[in-house]
Amino acid sequence: MSADGIREALEGLRYGARSALSPRVLQGAAVEIGWITTRLAMYPLGLVSGSGSRAERLNLSGLTPAQRSLLVGDVQAAGTPILLAHGIIDNHTVFALMRRQLLRRGFTRIQSFSYSPLTLDVRSTAERMAAEVERLCEESGSEQIHIVGHSLGGLIARYYVQRLGGDQRVHTCVTLGTPHQGTVAARLLPWPLVKQLRPDSDLMEELAEPAPDCMTRFVAFYSDVDQLIVPQRRARIRHPDLIARNIRVDGVGHLSLPFHGEVVHQITGMLSHLDEQDTVA
């Protein structure tokens, strides 16, 4: 690592340390510790349990009012498949709460995209995602899907949409704590995959290139106390060609974002309305 890189990384750490004792950050840290404990307990289940949910609805019997509302009001939205992509060193169980809420809302097909923690390259993993999306579309008969990606999963999804023609398949791409502009913290690790997450990496330069006619709707949730995205504003999407909305979440740690009730509520709501397009914020 160059001297400038070390200096930038240390400055990022000092920035985090200066705010580490604020009440908001301490509260977020306490919640994060709780979720980490939960994640450690749930992680082994993700290694042995299935990662898909499918509920074919031929009638409205047994449905909650919310499910009836979605199916009657917008059957296309209810039938649009949703692909969930976890972060690095994680698995599909991180989306347990979100999956449950989406099913309760009336969505009928929810699948997970998994990759190994030994993954070395965002681009090749995005190619795998492209193949998974095509399989999902063929099985469901749907022309489009939604993708929700946490952390690295969101960056893989964005690369697929922006660079591999995925905008033809993805209606809405939601990201949670994703280093869209890189993270200074990535300078501290020499791992090939982590190097791609540095602000000046060739991957970040590629994602900054023009993306004309990309019609996918992007929604990026970012936290003001994210411990891994340094500085936190780098989890926002800043690209002149992308239809993107950035939503700030206060006091929620990086690992807690997929479990946060308000975040989950907002996601289920926005995926229920296919016609709404968001503008850059």
For residue 35, being part of any structural domain is answered with yes
Q: What is the pLDDT of residues 182-194, one digit of tens each?
A: 999 999 988 999 9
Could you give the number of structural domains in the chain?
Answer: 1
User: Residue 116 pLDDT more than 60?
Assistant: yes
Asked, for residue 277, whether it belongs to a domain, the answer is no
Is residue 159 pLDDT above 90, yes or no? yes
pLDDT (mean) for 23-36: 54
Q: Is residue 42 part of a domain?
A: yes
Give the least confident one: 108-122, 152-166, 212-226: 108-122
Is pLDDT at 59 greater than 50 in this prediction?
A: no
When pLDDT is cut at 50, 70 and 90, the band that residue 214 belongs to is very high
Q: Where are the beta strands (DSSP E) in the chain?
A: 52-54, 82-85, 109-113, 145-150, 170-176, 217-223, 243-249
What percentage of the chain carries pLDDT values higher than 70? 70
Average confidence (pLDDT) over 107-113: 93
Answer whether residue 233 is part of any domain.
Answer: yes
Classify residue 183: in a domain, yes or no: yes
Q: Are 184 and 12 in contact (CB under 8 A)?
A: yes
Model pLDDT for residues 252-268, shown as the tens digit of each residue: 999 999 989 999 999 99
Maximum CA extent, the chain: 65
Summarize pLDDT for 31-55 with one digit per residue, the tens.
555 555 555 555 455 444 555 555 4
CATH number, position 249: 3.40.50.1820
